Structure 1
Amino acid sequence: MTDDTPQPTGNEYLLDNQQSEAGERFAALSALFDPWTFRHLEGVGVGAGWRCWEVGAGGASVPAWLGGRVGPTGRVVATDIDTSWVGGASEGGFAVLRHDVASEAPPPGGPFDLIHARLVLVHVADRDKALRSMAGALRPGGWLVLEDADPALQPLVCPDEYGPEQELANRLRQGFRELMRQRGADLAYGRKLPRLLREAGLADVEADAYFPVASPACTVLEEATVRQVRDKLVAAGLATDDEIDRHLANIAAGGLDLATGPLISAWGRRPAA
C-alpha cells in the first residue's frame, strides 16, 4: 500500500502569523470556538495547581483562560513557532515559548496535567510525531485534548448553495483547500483523532464535533482568510482577481450564510502508572 498523502511543497505556512490578517483570524476563531474549547477543558477538570501546555497557541485567549483556572499554584506554558500574537505572563498569567512541536522536545515544566492543541496538527507535516510527543509529556492521569478541523466532512463555506454568489464562495473555498492539500494538510484529520489517541496509549477516549453554519465571526474569518491567501490563489491559477473581488463584495453586502468545516474535539487520559 502506498501513502498518497500530499507532502508539503516547502516550509511556507499558508496562514502565516506575520500577515496582518492573522490577528483578525485569531479573534474570529476565538469568538467561534473558545466557548466550545472551554467546555471541553472544564470537562476534564482543569483547576488550581494544574500544569498545562497550550500547543500552537496562536492568540492569547486559551492560555489566558487556563491561567485563570490554574491560579498562582499552577503553570501554563503557551508555545508556537511564531509567538507574535500570543502576549505573555503580564497579560494573562502564562509563559510564552517559541517552539516547534513536531521537531523539538516538550517544553520545560512537564510532565503536564493537561495538553491542548486546537487547529494545529492538521497543518503539521509530521503530525504523528507531534502527537506522540504530546502524549509522552503527560503525567500519569493527565489529559490530552486535541481539536482539529475535518473540512473533507463538510467542504462548503456556503452549505446552502442556492445562487451564483454561493457557488463562487464554494469554488474559492475549494481552491483554498487545494492550497492546504499542496502544503501537506490532512483535510480528513479530525475524524481520525479518537483512533490516534487510543493508538498513542490513552484511555477514556471520547470525541464530538462543532459545526458553525452562520455567524458574524464566520464572516470575519472568511474575509480575513481570503485576503490572506489571495495572492497564492491567483498565483496557483485557482482563482482570478476579479473572482476574489466579487466574493469580497458579496461578503460585504451581507447576503452570504458562511460556515466553517467541522471542528472535532477528542480527549483521552494517560493511564495511571
Structure 2
Amino acid sequence: MQVVGYQRPDLALLVTSDASPGAVDRLPLDRGARLEYSLGARHCAGTLTDDGHVPCSAPTAPYCEAHASTWVCARCTGTCLKDEMDCYQEHAVYLAAFAPATFKVGVTRLERLETRLREQGADRAAHVHTASNGRIARELEAEIARTLTDRVRVPEKVAGLHRAVDEAAWESLLADFDVVERFEFDYDLPLDDQPIPETLATGTVVGTKGRLLVLERAGSAYAVDARDLVGYELREGASERQLQSSLARF
C-alpha cells in the first residue's frame, strides 16, 4: 500500500487499499498504537477524487508536476488572484504561538478557526480581527506580516515539541492587539528532550501535533513529518534500518 495523503487535526495517514484498487483507507495514529512498516519505493502519490485514488508512477514525490496543486488563497495578500473573488464568509485574523517563542500571523474562515490552529499544531493563539471577507482579512494579515512571520517551518516546530511557550514574550506581543478570543492547546506529549527528526513508520505512537507524528523506538523519540511519508510504499514488517539514538537513551 502507498501513503497518498494525511488528515488533520486528528492526524491519520491515508493509504491505498490492497483489497480494492482505487479505495483509500485511513490509518489512525492513536497514542500507544504500534506501527510496524518499512518504507519501500517512493513515487508520486497521484490524486484523490470523489471516486477514489488515481495512482501515478512518476518518480517525483510527493507529487509530480501534473498532480501538484497550489492553493491560490494561501498566497493572497488582498489583491485576489482568482478570476472572481469568492471568499465572502467572515474570516478571522489570528496570532499563533509555537513553543518556545515563534509567533506567526494567519487567516482562516471564522468557522474553522480552532480547527485550523490545531491543524498547524499551535500551542497558543489569539483571534485579533474579524473581517467580513477573505480579501480584507488578507490585507490585515499582510500589514501585520511586515513585523511578524506568516509561516513557521517544520524544523522550528520540532525544536519546540518538548518546550513550553515563553509566556512573557507571548503576552508582550498580545499587548499591542485587541484580542477577541484566546486559545490554549495541550497535545500531551511526554517529552523531556527534542525528538530526533526522522522519516520512518516503525515504532509506538507517543502522540501527534499538527502534521507531526512522534514515535518511540528502542528508547528514543523521533519526530516524523507526515508529509515526508506521502508517496512511500509501506511494507508489512518493522524497519531494521539503524537510526540515530537520543542522548536520553544512554
TM over 0.5: no
Give the structure, 1 or 2, with the largest relative contact order (CA under 8 Å, sep 6 or more): 2
Q: Which has the higher strand share?
A: 2
* Max Rg structure: 2
Q: Which has the higher helix share?
A: 1
